[in-house]
Amino acid sequence: MRTQVAIVGGGPAGLLLSQLLHRRGIASVVLESRDRRYVEQRQRAGMLEQGTTDVLRESGAGERLDREGLVHHGLELRFGGAGHRIPLTEMTGRTVTVYAQTEIVKDLVALRLADGGDVRFEAEVLEIDASAPSVTFRHEGRVETLDCDYVAGCDGFHGVSRPAVPGIRTFARDYPFAWLGILADVPPSTDELIYAHSDRGFALHSLRSPKVSRLYLQVAPDEDLGAWSDARIWDELAARFATGDGWRLREGPITDRAVTPMRSFVAEPMRHDRLFLAGDAAHIVPPTGAKGLNLAVSDVTVLARALAERYETGSERLLDDYSATCLRRVWRAEHFSYWMTTLLHADPEADEFARRLQRSHLEYVTSSEAAATTLAENYVGLPLA
């Protein structure tokens, strides 16, 4: 077997890279360890920067996004019983769109298969050779080797790609809290996202569709999910979102719930020889800034352009710059996600002095146009490299 680019991982990063390469006439094979049903039903958030939606449209995966995505022009920071709107579009000229990662994966799988793409589900990667590039994998009971020009490791934090990079440096921070996230069959109580800070902890009201709400509660990292009944979840959400103007939270049947730990992680470099890391294989951000999926899209956009230049002109200039180019954006997003997380969460280890500083910072962000613009610019996403 031989292809130009072997892609390890069939999540949004790997599938989008395959589609972008296809649009440039570059062949690829996607190897995904899970089955198609699992990949298409894996629940993840979906707050898309404008740059991300532009790339999805460029790839041919924008039709359903444009029809069903919820475009937002602002967000609300809520604390002290009052809401404070940050007008994103007014401040930056850009928007964000709510469209679940699950739906992006469905769109990309359908698109790749319709275009004759080689996407192999339940393909367990056993070994990656970055020098004489090849990927050895087990599929349908047979062990096979896929020879290639380049390997793209898009297989997530727990994948096999990052361990194949010798001498890699890692930087990490764990947070003293986690998110309890739910999906509920109830129309959202808001038209734009609400990021709420209270002494009880952080809460986020997001949207999945006009009929489905996505909500989150700050909990302990070792929280027992079984201790949270539906009634307890709704009561706690209502308490953290409470305002003095009579705003009410709509409640409905909870269809999915999970506790997600929060951490920051970066691996450097994102390249070894002919192996390139992208997405969660190279970096993780806490979800507060909604940057995870957007960083993955940025990575594969940079990589697709670099590979296109290599095949069209023979130049490896952009490939040589890949890691440095991506990491500039990664570290900016890491800082923004860290900043949003520490701004909004109740730190169980903080003293009264730290809590007063946090409240002062919230008041500054919502009263200073310069501070609010900094939040807005980073939230909607900086222009792609």
Q: In the chain, pLDDT over 90 holds for what percent of residues? A: 95
Question: Which tokens is 258 given?
Answer: 């999970």
Average pLDDT of span 219-240: 96
Work out the mean pLDDT of the chain and round it to a whole number: 96
Distance CA 52, CA 169 (A): 28
- Give the global pTM: 0.94
Enumerate the domain spans of the chain. 5-50+98-172+264-341
User: What is the arrangement of strands in the sheet containing 82-86, beginning at the earlier edge strand?
Assistant: 82-86, 75-79, 194-196, 203-209, 212-219, 169-184, 254-268, 283-284
What pLDDT is attached to residue 154?
98
Strands (E), 185-253: 194-196, 203-209, 212-219
Q: Are 276 and 270 in contact (CB under 8 A)?
A: yes
Query: Which has the minimum average pLDDT: 44-53, 202-211, 302-311, 342-351?
Result: 44-53
Average pLDDT of span 289-301: 95
- Just list the catalytic residues: 72, 195, 287, 291, 379
Average pLDDT of span 240-251: 94
Distance CA 346, CA 348 (A): 6
pLDDT of residue 205 exceeding 80, the answer is yes
Please, which pLDDT band fits residue 307 given cuts at 50, 70 and 90? Answer: very high
What pLDDT is attached to residue 314?
97
Distance CA 134, CA 147 (A): 4
Distance CA 86, CA 171 (A): 31
Please, which pLDDT band fits residue 385 given cuts at 50, 70 and 90? Answer: low
- Residue 77: closest CA among 189, 203, 168, 176: 203
Q: In the chain, pLDDT over 70 holds for what percent of residues? A: 99
Strands (E), 90-133: 96-98, 118-120, 123-129
Distance CA 37, CA 261 (A): 25
What pLDDT is attached to residue 209?
87
Residue 316: how many CB atoms within 10 A of its CB?
13
pLDDT of residue 108 exceeding 90, the answer is yes
What CATH superfamily is the domain 5-50+98-172+264-341?
FAD/NAD(P)-binding domain (3.50.50.60)
Backbone angles phi, psi at 123, to 5 degrees: -110, 105
Residue found by looking up tokens 């850009």 in the block: 94
User: What is the arrangement of strands in the sheet containing 142-147, beginning at the earlier edge strand?
Assistant: 123-129, 134-139, 142-147
Backbone angles phi, psi at 319, to 5 degrees: -65, -40
